[in-house]
Structure 1
């Protein structure tokens, strides 16, 4: 039996989604605006998702309520959800770095 994995949790990272634009941007679904934006966690096990456990906090995309609902409850094929989620994840990470929420020390010359 392997070692139990400890999930990565960071409240500051999740709270940074409030008042920011949706980065999931599901075509025909996204509300735009910033009023309902939250950190929408990945739904895939490779990102730490397990029964009764959310994925690691680093694997989230900023999402409006409509896009978050589409991701968690929508009937779209898994491949489509993965594609749009990972695009949103990349946009979210770029914003987190630009906003200074995540700092990559020693990377820039």
Structure 2
């Protein structure tokens, strides 16, 4: 790759980075051999899925996490625990990225009790997410177009 082409790409990267920081919108497709294939700007829309029906569906369900040493296996304590990247007391991810969790497992994944290592926690969450989403699909609370 020529220095002129590399310089042009660096200017474009700077332009895209500035646009992302000011507007939160950009798209860039890069091929390591050929450089930038295409770029465009588009509005990034953050869709927040909130569903009282999904949240209420956790009541009385078995814990989907089942973390040994933490799970109390008590369906009366089960809630919908958010497990996506935007989690915390004031910032919740979508209700579609949540699992059925008893109070003990919820405390464990939120770090309120013994902290699990990231890999172990991710395995429990992934398994629980699959179990919870299957339940929500079967209950008709999540609809997958074209499924039979």
TM-score where L is the length of structure 2: 0.63
Return the match for 1:55 from 64, 81, 93.
Answer: 93
Match of 1:91 in 2: 131
Report the Cα distance in structure 2 between the residues aligned to 1:71 and 1:55, rounded to whole angstroms.
15
Unaligned runs of 5+ in 2: 1-22, 25-43
**Where in structure 2 are the equivalents of 1:1-109 lying within 5 Å?**
1-2=23-24, 3=44, 5-42=46-83, 44-45=84-85, 49=86, 52-73=90-111, 74-108=114-148
TM-score, normalised via structure 1 length: 0.84
CA RMSD between the two structures: 1.8
Greater relative contact order, per chain length (Cα 8 Å cut-off, separation 6+): 1
Could you tell me which runs of 5 or more consecutive residues in structure 1 were left unpaired when the two chains were aligned. none
Q: How many residues align?
A: 104
Question: If you compute each CA radius of gyration, which structure gives the higher value, 1 or 2?
Answer: 2
Give the superposition deviation at 1:21.
0.6
